[in-house]
Amino acid sequence: MSKTIIISNRLPLQISIENDHLEVTPSVGGLATGLKSFHKDGDSVWIGWPGLTEEEIPEKLKGEVQKKAKDENCVAVNLSSDEIDGFYYGFSNRTVWPLFHYFMEYTEADDTYWKFYKQVNQKYADEILKYYEEGDVIWVHDYQLLLVPNMVREKAPEAVIGFFNHIPFPSYEVFRTLPWRDEVLEGVLGADLIGFHTYDYERHFLSSVSRILRYQVDFNEITLPDRIVKVDSFPMGIDYKKFEQAALDHFKNTEDQQSELQRRLNHHLESTPDAKLILSIDRLDYTKGIALRIRAFEYFLDKYPEFIEKVRLVMLAVPSRSNVPQYRRLKREVDELVGRINGKFSTVSWTPIWYFYRSMPFENLIDLYTSCGIALLTPIRDGMNLVAKEYIATRTNHTGVLILSEMAGAAHEMNEALIINPNNFEQVAQALCTAFGMPEEEQIQRNKMLQKRLRRYSVEKWANDFMKALHATRENRDAFKSI
Ligand code: ADP
Ligand code: F6P
């Protein structure tokens, strides 16, 4: 029976070593959380990195890592610490990530990183080929694996290969600056179907293909000498029912079942009448606009002091890529900003910002989503932003206001949110005032529309739509051959 081979840099499970034992936790990030439900429900094998380098896993635990992965229909790829440095911290996160998010000043062009990127992409491609059988469908994910589709195609010319990019694809003017632009485009074009979250990213990609490689592009089809490649947008959804159900369960908790966080959040809301909590959740990443958000919050409190003691910004930042200097710098900047603003505005009974720098279990995430009447998400660039969608899905009584940056892919589908430019502090402050004053009926009306759309365009539909379009390319290929 044919199967789907999913391949992404990171597996949905994260393995770590605690007191000589392996600990398994779920991976954080849109790709892992989104795709997990597709993997769980279907007949698929997922190939990726479990989060530990070869050197970090003691010899006696090596088999155990593979076993833990196998229990979840996954295959763990071994990467050495040099490979992780050059491929993951290097080319993926010091070259492609900043460039694709328009942070050109952070983008490094280093031959050694490129060498490791090719080496590790080849390793992933070889791993796919070990499991690939005729009739299988291969689904490659994200910017860490841009070369994999063509590497697989070279060895398995008949394979049906899909590629989905979870981050923005930049405009041609930005992409053209990459020294290895031709190789990267040729690498992705090994796929039969290439998917993006939005039409804009798709358009940017097509424009780069036609201007750099000079292939013929008609609407969303690229004609290669031997094949046609289709490009389309598939905005990723969430596992709506899972978040909705988790929120409903959260409200059923009796006092003694509540988490400490839930109790503290409830206490704040009960002790300060007409108070509101403003939530933000992100990986600590410079693309997420975390420092901008804190500054905008300061602007808001300066301009509207009547909100002092009435609001609290609850900020969860998950540690991410801390070997890359920009992430370490951002961490220091955020620590400093939070300290300064708490020092500036705190009163004996109130602190304006609650800042958590850690990962939290799913239950706590739900505590936060359900307790905060406002979500403030201000990315400078973001491929999609699933947190925005998760927040709305957990608002089971339909109240709550989402303030969302227009730079997030999700903003294209979430018009009923308050859409802002995160660089415009006045606009952010106005949106916060609007959110505070928004009548409940209006909140309900907006959220019901959002919920209806999110329920329909769930992650399941996203994956099914992509798969359907991928299977259709097989038929197109036969038609192309007969011309
Ligand atoms: P990105 O993919 O850039 O990290 P997204 O907003 O698209 O950004 O996705 C983030 C995902 O990570 C969401 O599905 C969210 O639920 C999950 N997540 C964020 N913070 C945590 C956390 N502390 N613990 C567990 N999961 C988290
Ligand atoms: O969404 C972009 C992305 O890189 C995903 O591939 C991943 O889910 C998430 O960010 C987390 O990144 P990392 O794997 O580097 O921790």
Task: For residue 362, give the ligand nearest its CA.
Answer: 1
Confidence of residue 481 (pLDDT cuts 50, 70, 90): low
DSSP 188-246: HTTSSEEEESSHHHHHHHHHHIIIII--EEETTEEE-SS-EEEEEE------HHHHHHH
Q: What is the pLDDT of residue 482?
A: 65
pLDDT digit string, tens, across residues 433-443: 999 999 999 99
pLDDT digit string, tens, across residues 33-91: 778 878 887 789 999 999 999 999 988 888 999 999 999 999 999 999 999 999 999 99
For ligand 1, atom 18, name the residue with the nearest CA: 28
Question: How remote is the C-alpha of 234 from its chain's centroid?
Answer: 14
Percent of the chain clearing pLDDT 90 (strictly above): 86
User: 33: Cβ below 6 Å to ligand 1?
Assistant: yes
Q: What is the pLDDT of residue 262?
A: 79
**pLDDT of residue 483 exceeding 70:** no
- For residue 15, report the phi and psi dihedrals to the nearest 5 degrees: -105, 135
Per the prediction, the chain carries an average pLDDT of: 94
Q: What is the pLDDT of residue 252?
A: 84
Ligand 2 pocket: which of 142, 145, 387 to mutate (most atoms <8 Å of CB)? 142
Q: What is the pLDDT of residue 94?
A: 98
ipTM of the complex: 0.96
Q: What is the pLDDT of residue 253?
A: 80
User: 209: Cβ below 6 Å to ligand 1?
Assistant: no
The CA distance from 164 to 171, in Å, is 18
Alpha helices in 46-86 (DSSP H): 62-71, 81-83
Q: What is the pLDDT of residue 316?
A: 97
Q: What is the pLDDT of residue 162?
A: 98
Alpha helices in 1-147 (DSSP H): 30-41, 62-71, 81-83, 97-100, 111-131
Confidence of residue 480 (pLDDT cuts 50, 70, 90): low
pLDDT digit string, tens, across residues 138-197: 999 999 999 999 999 999 999 999 999 999 999 999 999 999 999 999 999 999 999 999
Taking residue 234's Cβ as centre, other Cβ atoms within 10 Å add up to 20
Taking residue 329's Cβ as centre, other Cβ atoms within 10 Å add up to 11
User: 281: Cβ below 6 Å to ligand 1?
Assistant: yes
For ligand 2, atom 11, name the residue with the nearest CA: 29
Whole-prediction pTM: 0.95
pLDDT digit string, tens, across residues 376-391: 999 999 999 999 999 9
Token pair of 147, please?
């070369």
Q: What is the pLDDT of residue 271?
A: 73
User: 206: Cβ below 6 Å to ligand 1?
Assistant: no
